[in-house]
């Protein structure tokens, strides 16, 4: 092993591999390796300028006993940046320390000519590069597991487990699965897998493995802090923080699948106004257009969208419109985009990547020309009419089949970069809108590390209307926040399979709605059954032919349920000053709005075990109802004094109580003393 200090970075060379470890932000190191003569030069999620760090590098010799019984000295090195340090031995095995205490070590089981922990005949190495014939590498990076460690973050996975220890996670973007590969450890470190390749991570009991299906470099970033709050501060300092959410988007959003005409939209908005309910945002969903890729209203059903938007603005309502990244061959833009190389490419077979309601190919937003082209179309046909926000749906992107080995982007094979697709897609709108002085609040179904800085409101995807799904969304939202994405929400009531006439679904909807008051964005949406509403016409294109779901407004579920929803709408309104406070905290420090209990109470071991209650900012403890016909639940109150916001009754912390939960409320407790700062 050859060691070199290169301007404060530790360079290690062995058997054709170059390893580079360098300071990158507060108490943090960036670790890269390659089998090529030079690194690719991609910073991926590490987009923010960081202050220069004064790292120290020590090169020394360490003793190892050989098979002949003799002890020999071999070169080794150590780099330190603040509280975090890393050592590299002669086999290239790295060990990381927080304040001198080991937190992470690479897994190595190969005979290296010396009798050490890593001397085995298994021939398992810490960094395994498997070359593709004539191409790049499949990479596996292995670490020793830490007994008793808990692992959180990583984005959004549809499963009941909040603690990822013991889980195997696909690093692939899919509808309702969002990979944001930043993990938070209970041992006081965080690690970003700074690689947008498809792959997998296994947080096993016997080994931890990160795998990239296709890459040129290994690239990860690791930081140390006293607790999750410090880790998120360090992480968002190098990947970016969310902008400040506009006050006009903090209230209630109305949405359904789907408003088919401008008169339907206006009728809903006018009725809300008549009822005295102020909509912050109304959403115009998909297939209001001609065909996918035209990015404009179908004038048969939207004859004067500017007049509609003007009237909505007069009511104080922001207008969001759905756009998709798919381009139908019938689109007026298809052949120009294909000719200019602005679409995804297939490696074999037909040029088709998506077949829902058309023969389509998705755009390639990694190409800056594509981003400019799509924005110009949307600016002309939407933004210049007054549209405020964009719903960037299908932003994984959704594919007919997730055959990543068959697709290619501007940046390379899909296997090497497809996880960053939603981040680039959002930039196609966020960057030009900011240049025009707007404050983008764009809704997306997917994201990646760093997406938080591009005005992204992520939602949990097209999830089913079931109690199991509701429970999964709670942990998904908490882990998304721990992965650095503070703007997050769900379709209230779930998206699929909700029959509006079924009392069981109405109960689920009400419980979901009550929980949504304490989400960053409160948005009523869903594809409501039964599908008995006839299409507006028999064309196979345009804004009228596709089905619509049943009504999905606050008044659509009967007077009793309307009264409950109206009460919680008023509660959301009353929280506006507090919402401004915690949105600002997210903007300034990277802290999420939805916070796992241990985020605010890291010294309380009980809080590391809780996945069915959480903190909404620093002051409110929220305990949603997650099962049918449940009218009381246990709630753990950490140290301090807690006040039930419904009754004013106070409880001392350090105990578990049984809180009543009638159908018209959920248990929420305010930490005392409370003041808006």
Residues involved in catalysis: 393, 396, 462
DSSP code, position 332 = T
Beta bridge partners of 60: 76
Q: How far apart are CA 393 and CA 396, in angstroms?
A: 8
Q: How far apart are CA 258 and CA 231, in angstroms?
A: 41
Instruction: Specify burial of residue 24 (Cβ count, 10 A radius: 0-12, 13-18, 19+).
Output: buried
Q: How far apart are CA 489 and CA 621, in angstroms?
A: 18
Q: How far apart are CA 560 and CA 631, in angstroms?
A: 17
CB 608 within 8 A of CB 655: no
Instruction: Specify burial of residue 663 (Cβ count, 10 A radius: 0-12, 13-18, 19+).
Output: middle
How many residues are given for the chain? 677
Per DSSP, the residues of 457-523 read: EEE--S-BSSHHHHHHHHHHHHHHHHTT---EE--TT-SBS-BTT-HHHHHHHHHHHHHHTTSSSEE
Q: How far apart are CA 517 and CA 524, in angstroms?
A: 11
Closest CA relative to residue 450, chosen from 76, 193, 79: 193
Closest CA relative to residue 482, chosen from 150, 118, 207, 244: 150
Q: Which two tokens stand for residue 289?
A: 């257009």
């Amino acid at each position: 092993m050859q060691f070199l200090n290169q301007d404060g970075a530790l360079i290690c060379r062995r058997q054709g591999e170059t390893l580079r470890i360098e300071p990158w932000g507060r108490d943090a190191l960036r670790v890269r390796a390659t089998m090529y003569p030079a690194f690719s030069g991609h910073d991926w999620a590490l987009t923010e300028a960081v202050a220069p760090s004064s790292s120290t590098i020590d090169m020394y010799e360490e003793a190892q006993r050989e098979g002949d019984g003799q002890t020999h000295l071999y070169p080794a090195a150590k780099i330190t940046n603040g509280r975090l340090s890393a050592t590299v031995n002669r086999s290239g095995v790295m060990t990381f320390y927080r304040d001198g205490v080991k937190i992470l070590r690479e897994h190595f089981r190969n005979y290296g000519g010396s009798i050490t922990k890593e001397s085995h005949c298994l021939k398992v190495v810490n960094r395994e590069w498997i070359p593709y014939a004539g191409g790049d590498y499949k990479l596996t990076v292995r670490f020793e597991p830490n007994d008793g460690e808990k692992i959180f973050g990583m984005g959004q996975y549809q499963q009941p487990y909040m603690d990822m220890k013991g889980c195997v996670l696909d690093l692939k973007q899919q509808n309702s699965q969002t990979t944001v590969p930043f993990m938070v450890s209970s041992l006081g470190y965080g690690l970003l897998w700074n690689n947008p390749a498809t792959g997998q991570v296994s947080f096993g009991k016997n080994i931890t493995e990160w795998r990239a299906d296709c890459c040129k470099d290994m690239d990860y970033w690791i930081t140390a802090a006293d607790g999750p709050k410090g880790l998120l501060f360090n992480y968002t300092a190098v990947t970016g923080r969310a902008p400040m959410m506009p006050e006009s988007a903090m209230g209630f959003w109305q949405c359904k699948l789907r408003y088919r005409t401008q008169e339907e939209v206006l009728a809903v908005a006018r009725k809300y106004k008549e009822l005295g309910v102020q909509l912050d945002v109304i959403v115009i969903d998909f297939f209001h257009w001609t065909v996918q890729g035209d990015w404009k209203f179908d004038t048969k059903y939207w004859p004067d969208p500017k007049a509609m938007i003007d009237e909505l603005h007069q009511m104080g309502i922001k207008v969001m419109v759905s756009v998709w990244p798919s381009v139908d061959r019938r689109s007026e833009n298809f052949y120009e985009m294909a000719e200019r190389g602005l679409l995804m490419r297939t490696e074999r077979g037909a040029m088709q990547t998506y077949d829902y309601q058309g023969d389509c190919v998705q755009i390639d937003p990694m190409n800056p020309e594509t981003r400019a082209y799509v924005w110009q179309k949307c600016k002309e046909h939407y933004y210049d009419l007054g549209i405020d926000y964009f719903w960037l749906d299908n932003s994984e992107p959704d594919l007919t089949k997730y055959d990543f080995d068959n697709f290619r982007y501007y940046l390379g094979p899909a296997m090497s970069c497809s996880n960053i697709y939603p981040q680039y897609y959002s930039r196609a709108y966020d960057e030009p809108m900011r240049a025009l002085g707007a404050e983008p609040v764009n809704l997306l179904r997917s994201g990646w590390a760093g997406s938080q800085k591009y005005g992204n409101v992520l939602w949990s995807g097209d999830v089913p209307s079931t109690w199991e799904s509701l429970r999964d969304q709670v942990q998904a939202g908490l882990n998304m926040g721990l992965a650095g994405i503070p703007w997050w929400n769900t379709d209230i009531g779930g998206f699929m399979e909700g029959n509006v006439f079924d009392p069981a679904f109405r109960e689920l909807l009400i419980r979901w709605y009550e929980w949504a008051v304490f989400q960053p964005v409160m948005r009523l949406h869903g594809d409501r059954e039964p599908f008995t509403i006839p299409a507006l016409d028999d064309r196979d294109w345009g804004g009228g032919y596709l089905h619509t779901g049943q009504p999905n407004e606050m008044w659509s579920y009967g007077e009793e349920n309307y009264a409950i929803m109206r009460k919680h709408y008023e509660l959301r309104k009353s929280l506006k000053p507090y919402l401004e406070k915690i949105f600002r905290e997210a903007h300034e420090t990277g802290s999420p709005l939805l916070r796992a209990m241990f985020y605010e109470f890291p010294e309380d071991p009980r809080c590391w075990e809780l996945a069915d209650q959480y903190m909404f900012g620093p002051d409110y403890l929220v305990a949603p109802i997650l099962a049918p016909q449940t009218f009381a639940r246990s709630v753990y109150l950490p140290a301090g004094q807690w006040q039930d916001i419904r009754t004013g009754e106070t409880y001392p912390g350090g105990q578990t109580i049984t809180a009543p939960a009638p159908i018209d409320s959920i248990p929420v407790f305010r930490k005392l003393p409370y003041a808006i700062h």
